[in-house]
């Protein structure tokens, strides 16, 4: 085995400051000129950026090491890394010893007496459970249902700017396979023959994988097949479209336009799972796959009035998905209601031997739940401090409804007084690393959004986050994980306004699961939402509580008028 060069590890700050200096102006097209020499004045300027104060003597001692270390940094920069290559450090949200219970057989109790609608257009807003019953009982074929949704995608996808690629040939072949299996007596389960869409950061052979971004709009990932797509293939589901996302998983602006909210076409769909939420809401697909790093399931599910499940980090394999933040990315379903999310989650969860962050915890879902036997908390100050009166009224209605259903609600205060901004540097640093080549090649200029808050500038800014600060942010993250786990151990579910203060940042950092669902409408007629937060690996409980709330209120059955009967 080749022995490491000890010079490379002697003074880590040498490489760090070299990176800073290279990033802060000693570049032409991000190609370092060979004649660059780091001088005392360079270090004096650079150290301000990383909040460091060295004496003149310390800087003089440091200079030879920095200049030698610059060559090592160049060597690293020139080494090609694909976005799919993860770091050799894995994030595990489970910091305590957990003895998982055994997996029990799930009894889904799918509806049996589902009939075809008199107006076929009504199929657009049938739930997965209802469509599953129609397929299983051969009241409609998968080919017929698939063609129905393909037609809706063709008709409305352009209006919503929610579709990147319609996978027609693959879809019809899968649908025929599903029908042939059923004709021979083989039924693969609730998703057998059900069409769906996927956020276009998931690789599918034979189709481009654009990541919603101009630099990658013609990207061919070869034979790479995302694990979640393979799992859905194996369950008999039918991929009908690859849907839009904000470029590189930020917002709702992609290289082809801005994805629209079907409740209000003057408004963007929010992001970054914009197409998945918009298409599901408008009845272009029965369900879709989304991803979340810092709100990308919660936010578009809110805006478009659908139900989203952000699973525990490490519940669903990210293999074959674009990496933004290896320690924060999560894949989950977006559907009409919590029951549909449970049906999809059961299929996509679990390890694959590729994404080593995944744990095989059980999913013991029970569709019926006695809220009087659950420990339910709510983030009182978040509810009290909601400024928008309509949102506040809608949120209070959720608490009132849960109380009617038997819940004994306890006020809870969320973790606070922690450097959340500093911790979010974890996401910034990992994202900049994932797209290092994009920055260095200047191809980031091909992205549509170029303002100070957009990725090109954020990636550049992240170059000035030191490894020391990144590691210390993760150390604080560990303390946050301890605090949230300590709080959650006394509750089965905690209710929170979806965008309440730092709740969204906290739970994305700790990896806790959440279900987000519609709870009313704002002054402009667009949906609002509420979030149910659960313990690690306990998606079953929050999905059951969400289902109880939805069955009691019916918000999930209300669809955008512009796309009903069309």
Summarised one tens digit per residue, pLDDT across range 54-82 is 999 999 999 999 998 888 888 899 999 99
Reported confidence tier of residue 14, pLDDT bands at 50, 70, 90 = very low
Domain that holds residue 403: 121-416+473-555
- 187 and 55 share one domain: no
Mind telling me the catalytic residues?
A: 199, 272, 296
pLDDT value of position 99? 84
* High-pLDDT (> 70) share of the chain, %: 94
Provide the 3-class DSSP secondary structure of residue 530. strand
The number of folded domains in the chain is 2
463 falls within a domain: no
- 73 and 132 share one domain: no
pLDDT value of position 179? 98
Residue 236 maps to which CATH number? 3.90.1300.10
114 falls within a domain: no
477 falls within a domain: yes
pLDDT value of position 96? 75
Q: Are 10 and 420 in contact (CB under 8 A)?
A: no
434 falls within a domain: no
Mean pLDDT along residues 461-478: 95
Mean pLDDT along residues 179-203: 98
Residue labelled with tokens 């051969």 = 138
Reported confidence tier of residue 34, pLDDT bands at 50, 70, 90 = low
With a cut of 80, say whether residue 104 has pLDDT above it.
Answer: yes
- Of the residues 79, 111, 144, the one at which a domain ends: 79
- 379 and 513 share one domain: yes
Least confident window among 28-37, 237-246, 314-323, 351-360: 28-37
| Residue-wise pLDDT tens digits, 221-262 | 999 999 999 999 999 999 999 999 999 999 999 999 999 999
**The tokens of 260 are what?**
């629209």
Q: Are 558 and 566 in contact (CB under 8 A)?
A: no
Reported confidence tier of residue 35, pLDDT bands at 50, 70, 90 = low
pLDDT value of position 277? 98
- 43 and 173 share one domain: no
Mean pLDDT along residues 195-217: 98
- Of the residues 20, 54, 79, the one at which a domain ends: 79
Reported confidence tier of residue 98, pLDDT bands at 50, 70, 90 = confident
CA atoms of 537 and 467, how far apart (whole Å): 30
Q: Angle between the 40-49 and 56-78 helix axes, to the nearest 10 degrees? A: 80
Q: What is the CA radius of gyration of the chain?
A: 25
- 360 and 495 share one domain: yes
CA atoms of 151 and 227, how far apart (whole Å): 27
Alpha helices in 35-94 (DSSP H): 40-49, 56-78
Instruction: Characterize the bridge pairing of strands 195-199 and 163-166.
Output: unpaired
- 125 and 75 share one domain: no
pLDDT value of position 430? 98
Mean pLDDT along residues 423-434: 97
- Of the residues 79, 112, 145, the one at which a domain ends: 79
With a cut of 80, say whether residue 28 has pLDDT above it.
Answer: no
Reported confidence tier of residue 501, pLDDT bands at 50, 70, 90 = confident
Mean pLDDT along residues 119-125: 97
With a cut of 80, say whether residue 30 has pLDDT above it.
Answer: no
- 72 and 138 share one domain: no
| Residue-wise pLDDT tens digits, 518-563 | 999 999 999 999 999 999 999 999 999 999 999 999 999 999 999 9
Mean pLDDT along residues 25-36: 46
Centroid of chain to Cα 435: 18
- 36 and 179 share one domain: no
- 73 and 126 share one domain: no
Side-chain-side CA neighbours of residue 504 (13 Å): 16
What are the CB-based long-range contacts (under 8 Å, 24+) for 354-360?
354/227, 354/317, 354/319, 355/227, 355/317, 355/318, 355/319, 356/90, 357/90, 357/91, 357/92, 357/313, 357/314, 357/318, 357/326, 358/314, 358/315, 358/316, 358/317, 359/92, 359/94, 359/314, 359/315, 359/537
pLDDT value of position 11? 37
100 falls within a domain: no
Mean pLDDT along residues 108-131: 97
Mean pLDDT (the chain) is 93
Mean pLDDT along residues 440-460: 95
- 49 and 178 share one domain: no
- 72 and 139 share one domain: no
319 falls within a domain: yes
86 falls within a domain: no
- 226 and 333 share one domain: yes
Question: Looking at the whole model, is its pTM more than 0.75?
Answer: yes
Reported confidence tier of residue 500, pLDDT bands at 50, 70, 90 = confident
pLDDT value of position 36? 79
| Residue-wise pLDDT tens digits, 335-362 | 999 999 999 999 999 999 999 999 999 9
440 falls within a domain: no
With a cut of 70, say whether residue 16 has pLDDT above it.
Answer: no
């Amino acid at each position: 085995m080749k022995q490491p060069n000890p010079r490379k590890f002697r003074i880590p700050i040498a490489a760090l400051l070299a990176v800073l200096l290279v990033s802060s102006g000693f570049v032409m097209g991000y190609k370092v000129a060979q004649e660059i020499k780091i001088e005392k004045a360079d270090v004096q300027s650079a150290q301000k950026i990383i909040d460091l104060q060295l004496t003149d003597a310390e800087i003089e001692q440091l200079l030879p090491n920095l200049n030698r270390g610059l060559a090592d940094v160049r060597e690293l920069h020139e080494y090609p890394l694909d976005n799919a290559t993860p770091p050799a450090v894995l994030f595990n949200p489970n910091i305590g010893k957990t003895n998982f219970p055994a997996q029990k057989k799930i009894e889904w109790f799918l509806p049996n007496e589902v009939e075809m609608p008199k107006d076929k257009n009504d199929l657009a807003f049938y739930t997965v459970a209802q469509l599953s019953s129609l397929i299983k009982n051969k009241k409609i074929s998968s080919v017929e249902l698939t063609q129905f949704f393909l037609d809706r995608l063709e008709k409305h996808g352009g209006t919503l700017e929610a579709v990147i690629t319609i996978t027609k040939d693959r879809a019809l072949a899968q649908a025929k396979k599903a029908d042939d299996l059923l004709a021979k007596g083989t039924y693969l389960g609730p998703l057998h023959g059900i069409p769906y869409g996927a956020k276009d950061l998931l690789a599918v052979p034979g189709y481009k994988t654009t990541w919603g971004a101009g630099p990658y709009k013609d990207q061919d990932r070869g034979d790479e097949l995302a694990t979640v797509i393979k799992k859905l293939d194996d369950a008999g589901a039918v991929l009908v479209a690859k849907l839009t996302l904000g470029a590189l998983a930020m917002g709702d602006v992609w290289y082809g336009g801005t994805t629209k909210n079907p409740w209000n076409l003057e408004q963007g769909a929010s992001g970054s799972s914009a197409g998945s939420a918009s298409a599901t809401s408008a009845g272009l697909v029965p369900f879709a796959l989304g991803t979340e790093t810092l709100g990308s399931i919660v936010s578009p599910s809110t805006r478009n009035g659908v139900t989203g499940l952000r699973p525990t980090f490490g519940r669903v394999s990210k293999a074959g998905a674009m990496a933004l933040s290896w320690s924060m990315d999560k894949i989950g379903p977006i559907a009409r209601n919590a029951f549909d999310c449970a049906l999809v989650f059961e299929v996509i969860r679990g390890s694959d031997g590729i994404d080593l962050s995944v744990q095989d915890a059980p999913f013991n879902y029970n569709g019926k739940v006695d809220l009087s036997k659950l420990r339910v908390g709510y983030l009182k100050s978040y509810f009290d401090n909601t400024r928008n009166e309509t949102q506040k009224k809608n949120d209070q209605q959720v608490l009132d409804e849960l109380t009617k259903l038997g819940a004994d609600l306890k006020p809870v205060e969320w973790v606070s007084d922690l450097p959340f901004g500093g911790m979010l540097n974890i996401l910034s640093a990992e994202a900049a690393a994932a797209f290092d080549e994009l920055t260095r090649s200047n191809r980031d200029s091909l992205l549509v959004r170029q303002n100070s808050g957009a990725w090109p500038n954020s990636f550049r800014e992240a170059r000035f986050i030191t490894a020391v600060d990144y590691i210390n942010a993760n150390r604080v993250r560990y303390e946050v994980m301890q605090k949230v786990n300590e709080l959650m151990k006394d509750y089965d579910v905690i209710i929170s306004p979806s965008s309440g203060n730092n709740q969204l940042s906290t739970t994305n950092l700790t990896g806790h699961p959440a279900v987000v669902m519609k709870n009313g409408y704002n002054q402009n007629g667009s949906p609002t939402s509420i979030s149910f937060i659960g313990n690690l690996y306990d998606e079953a409980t929050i999905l059951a509580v969400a289902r109880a709330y939805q069955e009691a209120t019916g918000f999930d059955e209300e669809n955008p008028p512009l796309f009903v009967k069309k």
